[in-house]
Amino acid sequence: MTRPDGDASPVRTGPLLAVLDYGIGNLRSAQKALQRVGADARLTSDPEEVAAADGVVLPGVGAFGRCIEALRTTGLWETAMQAASEAAMGTGRPFLGICVGLQMLHEGSAEAPGVAGLGVLPGEVTLLSDAVKRPQMQWNRLDENGTDKHPMLAGLGDDPWTYFVHSYAAPVGPDTVATCTYGDEVCAAEARSLLWACQFHPEKSSATGLRVLENFVGLVAR
């Protein structure tokens, strides 16, 4: 779109979100879903563009180790760590991790022994129970963790279902705001201050997923 003054740079329609483009992940689908709920979401691998954004999104699919390697190769490791750490402390901008993007926020994963995660959230990601088929590739019901509904889950109704594709999961702990049942209780979403993360794919979860993204965009727009 061209501005009235002839400037061909994109016209902002909402809060500017930097979707970290490190060559892996559901990048385009995440970007389009965020745009659908009112964000000016842009794919970028430029740390300066990330620094200028109102919020940061870290998607991820596939293997933990490969995603970590790609973050380092593209020069986005420090950028992601700083943005996520500041969000968790409440001193930075809102940050959203999706699927493996959630897992990378932890210290490491049993999928890639010896490969360090961003370490913003405690604990190691572990393999789903041997009692269930792996990966979990299905719709599953979200169960709120605790008595107070987290803002991430606002407006989802009493029976929210979201779409999962994963074989590993983060530990259920103090930062867990939603779980699902898949053999065992599985961490489905986490939050600490301005840091939000979901194991499910909101961009593939129909109206429920779009509402989660809308809630995040609302957080960014405050």
pLDDT in tens, 176-188: 999 999 999 999 9
Tell me the pLDDT of the chain averaged across its residues. 93
What 3-state class would DSSP assign to 163? strand
Residue 91: CB atoms within 10 A of its CB come to 10
pLDDT in tens, 151-162: 999 999 999 999
CA distance 79 to 134: 32
195 forms beta bridges with 95, 192
pTM above 0.85, yes or no: yes
User: Which of left, alpha, beta for 34 (phi over 0: left; psi -120 to 50: alpha)?
Assistant: alpha
CATH of 16-221, one of 3.30.2350.10, 3.30.365.10, 3.40.50.880, 3.40.50.300: 3.40.50.880
Q: Which residues are catalytic?
A: 99, 201, 203
